[in-house]
Amino acid sequence: MKRVRIGLLGCGTVGGGFVQLVEREGARIRARHGVELSITRILVRDAAKERAIADRALLTTAATDVIDDDTCDVVVETVGGVHAAAAFVRRALARRRHVVTANKALLATAGGELFAAAARSGVAIGFEASVCGGVPVVGALRRGLAGDSIESIRGILNGTSNYVLTRMEAGLSLAEALACAQERGFAEADPSLDLSGEDAAQKLRILAELAFDAPPRRTRVDGIASITVADVEHARRNGRVLRQVAEATRVHGGVELTVETRALPANDPLARVVDEQNAVVIRGRAVGEICLSGRGAGSMPTAAAVLADVLEIAAA
């Protein structure tokens, strides 16, 4: 039985879900994968806050307690943001800890530097959860489609915007739909990155860097903040639905990235993606077109992707 000891940075939506999954799936993982998972320390902002953690002695407010623990094999980063997360990950990599992160902003901002640091230390960075939550699109591009030449990627990468647009089809205003998304935990208190299209653009850049051997040449980003119920109704009268679509296309001399609201015909696979679901359509020269879809937002889908990365590192 292989033992993998995990240091967890953050115990919010994703981190808390990860703790639950490790506890719930532990017996199955031992039986199927031959891996014993244990969480050694958990970084939190407030150690006195009530949490569903059986062993509160694991909690600490000092990141060094997690990262510098010599028994730790893998550091799981779920704190979000860029500055603090980057410092934590740099420290973990310097101490030759494998890292798993769900942080797309971190990878979009400092990914090149961090992957180089991981290579120097001989450790891995898992980041399946950084794009599309529980939809395994990163793994598909890194492994399943590694033998093909990717021509384009097109998808719904932001669950919040998709939820809002879907609710607007029922007659809610954008503000009302956004409030529903926040109540259900699909949207942050500050949803500006979601509504502006920047969240989808960060995720698209991660996928493009995996898929193409040419650098992104141009990025055009347009969000959904100006969309009205009248726009949604106009699209419906014309047999279409509005969706925020992120697309990366190989063009002469590079790759073009766009994020924009499009009126999609009913037979488009992305038109059938509703609420917080994500979907990605990948076109390869050999395989043609494939579509991956599923829950792209929420605690458990994202935590499941984090756990999958931990298990992949354990199997290496």
Residues that are catalytic: 203
Q: What is the DSSP letter of 268?
A: S
Copy the structure tokens of residue 14: 């994703």
In order, the DSSP letters of 155-219 are: EE--HHHHHHHHHHTTT--HHHHHHHHHHTTSS-SS-HHHHHSHHHHHHHHHHHHHH-SS-EEEE
What is the Cα Rg of the chain in Å? 20
Which residues are registered as beta bridge partners of 262?
A: 243
Rounded distance between C-alpha atoms, residue 309 and residue 316, angstroms: 11
Please enumerate in sequence order all residues whose Cβ is within 8 A of that of 127, keeping only pairs 6 or more positions apart, or say none. Answer: 100, 101, 102, 103, 107, 138, 206, 309
> Dihedral through CA 241, CA 246, CA 250, CA 251, nearest 10?
80
User: At 296, is the secondary structure helix, strand, or coil?
Assistant: coil
